[in-house]
């Protein structure tokens, strides 16, 4: 039996939770020693029921797990490994196992960008803007691959070819939400996708608050872009406060539900930020924020680009203000989109790419 097989078998044993697994491995020296220990020795460390379950896990076939891991390029990093991130290793509630696709390391500096799944267009834009600018000056962007703010945080980092880490609330062989399947390969290339849950684990609701301790644990600070008053985002904030991390929040419209959570965080002591420079200064990082350089543009493209702002404008309004036919304007806007300097929103609205 290999160590890999032993780790997987032990993690699948009924009743063996994270802390129990760590206690057993520390006591017996390795997962193989735990599984091969007789029931009497196991009972001296854990309950009779768990001791029985551990003895029975010897016969569990994990070949399919390992085959799937090999096909996806998944590495299993136990808490005893030198490859296990020091940022997590120092936490008392660190996960005993990490399933990893990509390159996981102790990123310094790093920041988690999190928020509502039901984010507004404004929230998505801000998440992407901050992620891009922070990635541009060398910060790793950590998030949870969820819909809304998380997704746009990952996208922003990737647009600058920056590092980003996605922490999943399901098995690493699954993509949740499914529409982010295209993002996974890009994240793996530019960072890592990680999960503490065994292969095949479904995205159960209870998994997400648990994984949030890893998001905060891997980060120097937390930026909350949008959140309702009952947002799951607050579990990440609670973990971060327990870990002594800095909390930043984007102030928002007091009439919007997705801003009530962030505004409440600010009232409770989170640091309000309106620019990336605010974060750089607060973290005392020696970084200079530079404006993104534009690619070469034609005269028509320059004219249209300069007319656009950081808020969405409908194509008909642009057509009137530029005295340009919609048919011609559509072609120019498409060219600007392909050059990644303009973004189209639903309903034929356009704005500058942040």
What's the mean pLDDT in 56-82?
92
Q: What is the DSSP string of 124-171?
A: HHHHHHHHHHHHHTTPEEEE---TTHHHHHHHHHHHTT--EEEE-SS-
User: Which tokens go with 43?
Assistant: 């009972």
pLDDT of residue 97: 97
Same domain, yes or no: 137 and 47: no
Same domain, yes or no: 127 and 204: yes
Q: How confident is the model at residue 290 (pLDDT cuts 50, 70, 90)?
A: low
Rounded Cα–Cα distance for residues 336 and 304 (Å):
9
Mean pLDDT over the full length of the chain: 92
pLDDT of residue 167: 98
pTM, to two decimals: 0.85
Q: Is the pLDDT of residue 22 over 80?
A: yes
Question: Nearest to residue 167, comparing CAs of 187, 137, 189?
Answer: 187
Candidate from 20-24, 245-249, 285-289, 326-330 with smallest mean pLDDT: 285-289
Same domain, yes or no: 132 and 253: yes
Same domain, yes or no: 342 and 246: no
Into how many domains does the chain fold?
3
- CATH number of the domain at 234, please: 3.40.50.450
Range of the domain at 326: 299-352
Q: Is the pLDDT of residue 289 over 70?
A: no
Same domain, yes or no: 145 and 261: yes
Rounded Cα–Cα distance for residues 176 and 34 (Å):
33
Long-range own/partner contacts, residues 41-44 (CB < 8 A, 24 or more apart): none
Question: Is position 77 within any domain?
Answer: no
Question: Is position 54 within any domain?
Answer: yes
Same domain, yes or no: 149 and 51: no
Per-residue pLDDT tens over the stretch 134-188 = 999 999 999 999 999 999 999 999 999 999 999 999 999 999 999 999 999 999 9
pLDDT of residue 291: 66
pLDDT of residue 229: 86
Same domain, yes or no: 219 and 331: no
Cis, bond preceding 320 (omega within 30 deg of 0): no
pLDDT of residue 92: 82
Same domain, yes or no: 278 and 304: no
What's the mean pLDDT in 300-321?
89
Same domain, yes or no: 57 and 115: no
Rounded Cα–Cα distance for residues 328 and 349 (Å):
16
Q: Is the pLDDT of residue 292 over 80?
A: no
Rounded Cα–Cα distance for residues 16 and 204 (Å):
19
Same domain, yes or no: 51 and 123: no
Query: Are the C-beta atoms of 163 and 157 separated by less than 8 Å?
Result: yes
């Amino acid at each position: 039996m290999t160590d890999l097989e032993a780790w997987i078998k032990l993690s699948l044993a009924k009743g063996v939770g994270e802390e129990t697994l760590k206690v057993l491995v520390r006591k017996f020296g390795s997962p193989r020693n735990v599984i091969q220990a007789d029931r009497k020795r196991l009972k001296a460390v854990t309950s009779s029921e768990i001791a029985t379950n551990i003895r029975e896990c010897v016969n569990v076939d994990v070949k399919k797990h390992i085959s799937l891991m090999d096909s996806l390029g998944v590495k299993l990093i136990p808490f005893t490994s030198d490859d296990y991130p020091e940022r997590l290793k120092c936490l008392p509630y660190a996960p005993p196992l990490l399933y990893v696709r990509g390159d996981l390391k102790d990123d310094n500096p790093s920041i988690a960008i999190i928020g509502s799944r039901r984010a507004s267009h404004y929230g998505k834009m801000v998440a992407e803007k901050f992620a891009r600018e922070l990635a541009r000056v060398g910060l790793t962007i950590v998030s949870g691959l969820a819909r809304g703010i998380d997704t746009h945080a990952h996208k922003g980092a990737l647009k600058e070819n920056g590092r980003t880490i996605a922490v999943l609330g399901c098995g690493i062989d699954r993509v949740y939400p499914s529409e982010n399947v295209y993002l996974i390969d890009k994240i793996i290339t530019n960072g890592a996708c990680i999960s503490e849950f065994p292969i095949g684990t479904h995205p159960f609701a209870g998994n997400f608050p648990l994984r949030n301790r890893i998001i905060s644990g891997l980060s120097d600070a937390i930026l909350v872009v949008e959140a309702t008053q009952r947002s799951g985002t607050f579990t990440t904030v609670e973990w971060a406060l327990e870990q002594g991390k800095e909390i930043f929040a984007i102030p928002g419209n007091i009439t919007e539900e997705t801003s009530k959570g962030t505004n409440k965080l600010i009232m409770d002591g989170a640091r309000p930020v309106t620019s990336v420079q605010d974060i750089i200064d607060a973290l005392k990082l020696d970084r200079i924020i530079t404006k993104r350089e534009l690619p070469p543009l034609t005269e028509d493209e320059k004219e249209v680009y300069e007319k656009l702002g950081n808020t969405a404008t409908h194509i008909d309004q642009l057509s009137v203000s530029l005295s340009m036919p919609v048919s011609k304007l559509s072609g120019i806007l498409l060219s600007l989109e392909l050059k990644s300097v303009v973004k189209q929103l639903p309903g034929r609205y356009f704005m500058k790419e942040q």
